[in-house]
């Protein structure tokens, strides 16, 4: 069954090629297609394209389908092209001609648009929620290890003293900015395209404001041409937000791979969280972090993939857009899995004590000695040269006592402020308003 088919059978090879993997990814859209159908059916009743009774019957059947989807028993038949066709087929099977009326004043194009928007909105919320336990762990570990010093590097050369308090806190604050960019993506996807039809609106007097309210969208995509053009753009903007989180996790994982290396030897993990070698009995490999790094680096290619897949497309709908789902949709689960594993690993980390007592790290304290001279009245440039000459003469003397007090330094981590920044980043999402609208729609 195909919503667009008339009386001519499509060549089987063409059908298989054009449908591709769509059924697999359309199952993910199924609950959102039902929600869009419920809102559409209720709206159609307000403009006379459905009677009140017809609308009630459709909504009742749609709620039954929704329950089947939630219980995991919903499938798309092999002879049905997509989720939209499957749901309309089920409605028609149960309600006859009433089921056939559900598609009035709508195109499959804006069905896909609203389904994708609702799906992305939901997935962004789940991902933002999945970030929170990891964020809290990072701040907890930052406080727990605030006095554990480690080398700071520039150019992978020892540079200045750092601490695990700083290290954990840095990735916590990075997550704040990642959430801010997700909020921007959320605002883009939280606009209603339903009613744009094939991309040029409808001659029916539909009420797009009503469906916006029913589905809990914050606003409309007003211009119907832009609503259609937004497909591809919404996915790309979402992908860009995902890549920021992926970059945070990838960089963190690279640090862990280095710090676990015997030449660094800063951290360790329980044996059951590392892997061994088939021939080297001493090995404790950071496979989890290596896979997080690789998976997240793969996700970082998504914006460019989507950009290239939509390059040179004119306005209006094009079948190219169908392929975006199979590139973007799996990234959400991948990131949630990576967050879960990163939380497991860093929640069981052991930090080596007195790392900087090793003499090979003595030049980390060169800036501290320069600053001591400056505090005694020596001009900075003269102090810098004086310490440099001592180092060149191999006569450098130093103290491991450091006193950094400014905001965000070793002695003043500002973790409370970072926690407040995360709360400020979360507040504007308005998840509760969406939950209330959807609950009312399904009541």
- The b-or-e profile of 207-227 (16+ CB within 10 A means b, else e) is bbebbbbbbbbeebbeebeeb
Which of 239-248, 274-283, 356-365, 414-423 shows the lowest per-residue confidence on average (mean pLDDT)?
A: 274-283
Percent of the chain with pLDDT over 70: 94
- Which domains are delineated in the chain? 12-103 (1.10.275.10), 108-202+223-357+413-442 (1.20.200.10)
- pLDDT given for residue 316 in this prediction: 85
Q: Residue 173 — very low, low, confident or very high, per pLDDT cuts 50/70/90?
A: very high
User: What is residue 290's three-state secondary structure?
Assistant: helix
- pLDDT given for residue 16 in this prediction: 65
How far, in Å, CA of 286 to CA of 276, rounded?
9
Please determine, for residue 21, whether its predicted confidence score (pLDDT) is greater than 90. Answer: no
Six-digit token string for 3: 């919503």
Q: Residue 111 — very low, low, confident or very high, per pLDDT cuts 50/70/90?
A: very high
Nearest to 113 by CA among 248, 215, 1: 215
Q: Residue 18 — very low, low, confident or very high, per pLDDT cuts 50/70/90?
A: low
Confidence (pTM): 0.92
Query: What is the mean predicted confidence (pLDDT) over 35-46?
Result: 98
- In tens, the pLDDT along 206-263 reads 999 999 999 999 999 999 999 999 999 999 999 999 999 999 999 999 999 999 999 9
Which comes out higher in pLDDT, residue 81 or 73? 73
- In tens, the pLDDT along 259-313 reads 999 999 999 999 888 876 556 656 678 899 999 999 999 999 999 999 998 998 8
HSE-CB of 34 using CA atoms within 13 angstroms? 22
- Tell me the sheet residues that pair with 192: 220
Please check whether residue 245 is in contact with residue 297, taking contact to mean a CB–CB distance below 8 angstroms.
no
- Tell me the sheet residues that pair with 152: 160
């Amino acid at each position: 069954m195909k919503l667009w088919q008339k009386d001519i059978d499509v060549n089987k090879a063409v059908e298989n090629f054009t449908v591709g993997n769509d059924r697999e990814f359309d199952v993910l859209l199924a609950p959102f297609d039902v929600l869009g159908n419920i809102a559409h059916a209720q709206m159609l009743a307000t403009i006379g394209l459905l009677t009140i009774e017809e609308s009630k019957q459709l909504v009742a059947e749609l709620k039954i389908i929704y329950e089947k989807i939630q219980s995991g028993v919903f499938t798309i038949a092999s002879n049905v092209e997509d989720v939209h066709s499957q749901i309309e087929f089920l409605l028609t099977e149960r309600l006859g001609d009433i089921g056939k009326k559900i598609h009035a004043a709508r195109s499959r194009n804006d069905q896909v648009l609203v389904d994708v928007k609702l799906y992305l909105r939901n997935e962004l919320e789940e991902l933002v929620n999945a970030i929170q336990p990891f964020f809290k762990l990072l701040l907890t570990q930052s406080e727990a290890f605030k006095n554990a010093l480690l080398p700071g590097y520039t150019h992978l050369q020892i540079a200045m003293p750092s601490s695990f308090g700083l290290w954990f806190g840095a990735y916590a604050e990075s997550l704040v900015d990642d959430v801010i960019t997700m909020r921007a993506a959320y605002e883009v996807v939280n606009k209603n395209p339903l009613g744009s039809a094939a991309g040029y609106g409808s001659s029916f007097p539909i009420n797009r404001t009503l469906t916006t309210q029913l589905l809990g969208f914050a606003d409309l995509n007003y211009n119907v041409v832009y609503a259609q053009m937004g497909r591809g753009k919404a996915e790309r903007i979402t992908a860009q937000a995902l890549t920021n989180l992926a970059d945070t996790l990838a960089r963190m994982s690279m640090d862990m791979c280095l710090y676990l290396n015997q030449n660094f030897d800063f951290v360790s993990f329980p044996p059951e969280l590392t892997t061994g070698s088939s021939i080297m009995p001493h090995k404790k490999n950071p496979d989890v972090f290596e896979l997080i790094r690789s998976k997240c680096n793969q996700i970082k290619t998504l914006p460019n993939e989507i950009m290239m897949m939509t390059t040179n497309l004119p306005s209006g709908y094009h079948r190219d857009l169908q392929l975006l789902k199979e590139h973007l949709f799996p990234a959400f689960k991948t990131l949630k899995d990576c967050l879960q594993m990163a939380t497991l690993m860093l929640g069981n980390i052991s930090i080596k004590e007195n790392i900087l007592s090793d003499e090979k790290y003595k030049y980390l304290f060169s800036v501290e000695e320069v600053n001591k001279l400056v505090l005694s009245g020596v001009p900075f440039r003269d102090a810098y040269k004086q310490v440099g000459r001592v180092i060149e003469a191999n006569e450098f003397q130093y103290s491991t006592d450091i006193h950094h007090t400014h905001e965000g330094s070793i002695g003043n981590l500002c973790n409370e402020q970072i926690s407040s920044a995360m709360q400020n980043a979360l507040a504007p999402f308005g998840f509760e308003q969406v939950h209330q609208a959807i609950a009312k729609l399904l009541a």
